Chains A and B, each alone.
Chain A
Amino acid sequence: MKPRRIAWGVEFLSHAIAVAAVAFALYPVLWVVSLALNPAGTPAPRAAPWPEVLSLVNFRAVVSSSNSAGEWLFGRQLLNSVLVSSATAAVSVLIATPAAYALARFRFVGERTAMKALLATQMFPGVATAVPLYVMLDTLKLLDTRAGLVLVYATTALPFALFQLRGAFEAIPRDLEEAAMVDGATRWQAFVLVVLPAARPAIAVTCLFAFMAAWNEFILAATFLSRESAFTLPVALQRYVGEYDAAWGRFAAGAILVSVPVMAIFYAVQRHLVGGLTAGSVKG
C-alpha cells in the first residue's frame, strides 16, 4: 500500500501549496474590500480580512462626489475614463492593423531595423519622455484634454498593438488570402474580406488590452491633467490617499469601482494574452 500513501501525500501537498498561494493572492483583495465596507474614516488595525460592520457609506461618498460648482465629478471622471480608454484602443488598433499585417506578410528593406527600433523604445524609461510629451501637448494646446491623453497613451498602446497583431496575422494561414487573390481579389480586398474576419478575435483582444492599459494608467494622467473635471478615475482615486489625506475607506471603495470592470474584461480575454506579451512589449 506504499505507493497509495505517497500519492495521498502528493495530493495533500499539492492542495496545501495551492491553498496557501490562493490565500496569498486573495488576502490583499479581501483587505481592500473590508476597508471599503468599513464606515470609519481611518481603519483600526485588524489582521482579519473581513469587515466587522457592513456599510456602503464609502461607496456612496465616492459615487456622489461633486465639486463646488455642483458638477457631478464622479460622473465626469467616469466619462473621461471611458472615452479616453476607448479612443486609445480604437486609434491604436486602427493604425496598427494594416501595418501589423504588412509586418507579418511582406519582407521589405528596413523591416528588421524597424522592429528592433520598436523593441528598443520599450526599454527607454517613460520618465524621460514625460517632459517632451508635456511640451508637445502644450504646443498643440491639448494639455488637460481627453484628446491629449489619448495621444500620450497611444505612445505605449501603439507598439503593443503592433506586436500583438503581427503575431495574430502570422498565425493565419497564407493559403486563405492567396486563394482569394487567385480568384482575382486585390491584396486590399483579400485583407479586408478574408484576413480581417479571421483575425477578428485577436483584434478584439488587442482592443480590450489597450483599453485596460489606458483605464489603469495614472502617473502620466496625474502629470498632464490639472482640472478635477478632466481627471480620469485613477487620478481621482489616488488623491484620497495623497500626502494630506488618508481616506482609506473611500480609496478602497473607489478602487473596487475602478477595478471591477477591468477585472471582468481581463478574465474574458486573459487566455489570449500570453502569446502577445512574450512577443515583445508592454512597459511596466
Chain B
Amino acid sequence: MRHRGVGLWVALSALLLVLGLAGAAEGQSLTLWHAYREAEQRALQGALDRWQAAHPSVRLNVLAVPFEAYGAKLEAAIPRGNGPDVFIDAHERLASYRSRQLVVPVVEARAEALSAAIDHFDETALRAFTAPEGLFAWPLSVKCVALYLNPRFWPAGRDPASLEAVEALQGTLSRGTYALVYEAGSAYFHAPMLHAFGGAFLSDDGRYTFDGAAAEASVARVRQLLAAGVVPEEAGGALVSQLFASGRASAAISGPWLAAELGDRVAYRVVPLPRVLSTGRVMAPFATVEGAMVSARARETMLARDLAAYLASPEAAVLRARVGRQVVATRAAWEQAPELAADPILSTFRRAAALARPMPGHPNMRAAWEPARQALQKALRGDRGVGDALREGHHRFDDVTRPLPARRSPTLYLLGLGVFALGLALRAVQRAREAPFRAALRRSWPAYRWVAHAVLIVTALVIAPLVLGATTSLYATREGTSYFVGLANYVDILRARGGPLLASGSFYRVLLVTLLWTAANLSLHLGLGVVLALVLSRPMMRLRALYRVLLIVPWAVPSYVTALAWKGMFHRQFGAINAALSALGVEPVSWFARFSTAFAANVATNVWLGFPFMMVVTIGALAAIPRDLYEAASVDGATPWQQFWQITVPLLRPSLGPSVAMGAVWTFNQFNVVFLVSGGEPDGETDILVSEAYRWAFTRQAQYGYAAAYAVLIFALLGLVNVWQGRARGDR
C-alpha cells in the first residue's frame, strides 16, 4: 500500500482527539450547583461537609458555577440529563423552571411536612416558593438592600426618617461629598424609589408597567437628586463602595455584600430604607429569596430532597448565617443562636427583608430588566423627555416578548429541498457520464486519499455546526420552545419588526452602524499603517528595528485583554483618559453615555488593536517595489510627492488588496471589542450585527432561531460583497 502512512496519520490524530475523555462514575452520587463565592461558599461547604459526614456512602459533587451564566447553564444542562440534582437559585426564576418542568416540589402539596414547614420559615420566604403542587424549594436566605449610614454624619440614635432628611443634609456638605450614593442607573436600585411612588416594573399578570405617571414621577425625583448633586451621576458598584468607604458619602444604598467589603476598616451602621415624605410610602426594595431546589431529572429524588432540606435546617442555617453572613429564612436558627439576632447587621437586613417586596416571579421579569435599565438611564441623562424614554423602554420590551410567528408546516420547504437535491444529483449523474470528467475523476483519485480524513473532520467540526446553525434560523425558539416557522424570522428582521425602518435596534440601523464601524476602522488602520510603514521604510531611518518591535506590541497582546484594558481606561471615575482630561482642566466625559463618544471609544480600541497588522503588511509591500523606479523618476525630475502618487500608491494597491478585504471581514465581525468595551452602550446603539445576534441568542430569552437568522444575513452580506469584489477583480 502506497498510502499506508496516511492511515497511520489519521489513527494518530484520532487517538489525540479521544485523549482526555473522562468516564462517568456509577453508584449513589449527588451533584449540587451553586453560584456562591468567598464567605458564602465557605459556609455552604461547611454545611455540605456535615451532611456528607452523615452520608458517607454518597458521592457528593459540588460545582461553583459563575453567577453570570448560572441560569442559562441550568436550563441547558438539566433537560439533557447532565445538570445538578440539587441547586441553589433565586425565587424569581422558579416560574420559568416550573413551566419547563425542570424542578419537582421538595414537599408535595398534601404532605404533612408542608404544614409543619410553615412554622419553621419566614413567611415571605416561604410564599416565594409555594405553588399549587407544593413547596418548590427549601428557603435558605433573603437578600435585599438597606441604608448604610456613616456615623460622622448620622450620630447614633439620629437615623434619617425620610429621603427628604437625607437630601437636606447635602446643604451642609462640602463639594465632592454626597448625601446619598447608590447605583441610580440600575433598575434594581431604582425599584425602592419606584415602589415609593406607587409604581412597579411588572404587573402580576406579567405586563410591563415601567411607564405612566408613577414611573415618570419616580424618575423625575431621581433627576432632581442628581441635578442637585445629592446623588453622584453614573455610579457603579465600585464607586458606591469607594465613596462610602472613604467618607465621601453620608449614606449608601447597598446590600449585605457592602458590609463584607467594608469589614472593620470603616465605622458604619445599617437601617432599613426610609420613607418618601411627598408620597408617604416606604422605599420598599426588591427581595430575592434563595432556596435549594431539586431537579426534575434527579436520579435519587429522595436523597436530593434530604440534602436540600438539610441545607435549610437550623443547624446548617446557623452556620450559613455565622460564616456566610446570610440573612437566613429559618426561624429556629435565630432562636437557637441568639448572637445572630444581636448582630446589628444581620438583624437589620432581616427587618429590611420583612418590608421588602418579593421580586416578581413572572418569567417576563427577565425580559424587562434590559429595557427598564436602558429607559431609566436614557431618562436620567435627560437627552429626551422622561415620558418618551420610558415609552421607548416599553417598546423594547414588546420587541423581545413579541408573539412568536405562527407554526408552519415544513412540507413545502422539504419538497423544495428535495427538488433541489434531485437537480444536483441529476447534474452529477449527467457529468459522470461525460468521458473527460470521468478521466479527471480517475486522475483525482490519489489526491482524495490524502484529503479524505481532513474532509471528514472539517465536515463534522466546521460545516455541520454551521449548517445546523443556519437551519435553526427557520425555527422560532424562545426559552426552550422550538418549532418550524419557515422564513418568518427573516421576514420579521427585514421588516424591522413592523416598526419604522431606522428605529433603534432595527436591522437597518444596526447595519448602518456596522458599515460606519467598518469604514472608520479600515480607513484609520490603513492610514496609520501606511504612514508608519512609509516612515519606517525610509532608507535613512535610524532605530527602525526598535520602532518596529515596539509598534507591534498591540498585535501581540491577547485581544480580550486589550478590550478590557481599554474599557478600564475609558471608565468614567477610574479611567486614565478622564484623569488626563481633568489634569488639563477639562470636565470628565461619560464615554459610554452618548453614541458618538462610545463609538469613538470602540474605534480607538480597535485601531490600537489593528494598525500594526496593516503596518507590517505595508512594510512588506513597500520592500517589494523596485528602487530603480524611484531613481528613474527623480532623474526625470519628479518631486517626492509625485513619486508617492505615481509609483508608490499604484504599486501598493494590488498587494494591499487582500489584506484590506480580510481586514474588512474581520472588522465587520469584530465581536470582542464591541462586546467588551462599550457593551453596546448607550442603549445598544453601538452594537454591530454580530453583537446584536449574540444578544438575541444569549440575553434575550434564548431566541436562537432569531439570532441564527441574523448570522445567516451577515454571512449573505459578506458573501455578496466577496462575490462582487471577485467580479470587479476579474475573478481568478
Contacts and interface: CB of A to CB of B under 8 A. Distances in A.
Given A47-B583, A129-B465, A158-B457, A94 B719 contact: no
Interface in A26-80: 26-29, 31-32, 35, 42-47, 49, 67-69
B715 interface: yes
A124 B729 CA distance: 23
A95 B711 contact: no
B694 A127 contact: yes
Contact of A99 (B454, B543, B557, B616): B454
A82 interface: no
Given A218-B560, A266-B555, A226 B63 contact: yes
Contacts of B462: 118, 121, 155, 158-159
A232 B711 CA distance: 27
A151 interface: yes
B450 A25 contact: no
Q: Which of B13, B559, B694 has the most CB of A within 10 A?
A: B13
Q: Which of B468, B576, B666, B714 has the most CB of A within 10 A?
A: B576
A259 B561 contact: yes
B45 interface: yes
A9 interface: no
Interface stretch (A171-179, A198-206, A243-251): A243-251
Interface in A145-165: 145-147, 150-151, 154-155, 158-159, 162
Contacts of A102: 447, 450-451
B561 A258 contact: yes
Nearest to A109: B444
B724 interface: no
Contacts of B237: 244, 246
A95 B535 CA distance: 42
Contacts of B550: 22, 25-26
B581 to A, nearest CB: 8
B466 A124 contact: yes
Interface string B450-463: 11011101100111
B576 A132 contact: no
Interface in B558-614: 558-562, 564-566, 568-569, 573-580, 582-583, 608, 612-613
B136 interface: no
Contact of A120 (B257, B583, B719): B719
A131 B472 contact: yes
A227 B465 contact: no
B589 to A, nearest CB: 13
B670 A284 contact: yes
The majority secondary structure among interface residues of chain B is: helix
Interface string A214-229: 0110110011001110
A155 B568 CA distance: 32
The majority secondary structure among interface residues of chain A is: helix
B715 A125 contact: yes
Interface stretch (B67-75, B311-319, B406-414, B487-495): B67-75
Contacts of A215: 558
Contact of B461 (A68, A99, A155, A237): A155
A46 B711 contact: no
B6 A128 contact: no
B82 interface: yes
A129 B574 contact: no
Contacts of B551: 18, 21-22, 25
Given A49-B576, A226-B73, A14 B538 contact: yes
Given A108-B444, A158-B457, A280-B662, A138 B80 contact: yes
A246 B238 contact: yes
B226 interface: no
Interface in A232-284: 234, 237-239, 241-244, 246, 248, 251-252, 255, 258-259, 262-263, 266-267, 270, 274, 277-278, 280, 282-284
22 contacts: A29-B553, A42-B242, A47-B577, A98-B6, A99-B451, A108-B447, A117-B463, A128-B470, A131-B697, A132-B472, A143-B77, A147-B19, A215-B558, A219-B672, A227-B64, A238-B560, A243-B68, A255-B565, A259-B558, A263-B557, A282-B666, A284-B667
User: What 9 A-B pairs are tightest by C-beta distance, nearest first?
Assistant: A128-B711, A108-B444, A99-B454, A102-B450, A106-B447, A47-B580, A147-B20, A128-B469, A216-B558
Interface of B: 2-6, 9, 12-13, 16-22, 24, 41-42, 45, 62-69, 73, 76-77, 80, 82, 236-238, 241-242, 257, 437, 440-441, 443-444, 446-448, 450-451, 453-455, 457-458, 461-466, 468-470, 472-473, 528, 531-532, 535-536, 538, 540-541, 543, 547, 549-562, 564-566, 568-569, 573-580, 582-583, 608, 612-613, 616-617, 620, 658-659, 662, 665-667, 669-672, 675, 689-690, 693-694, 697, 704, 707-708, 710-712, 714-715, 718-719, 722
Given A25-B608, A42-B242, A255-B561, 8 more contacts: A14-B535, A44-B574, A45-B573, A108-B440, A125-B715, A219-B675, A223-B69, A266-B555
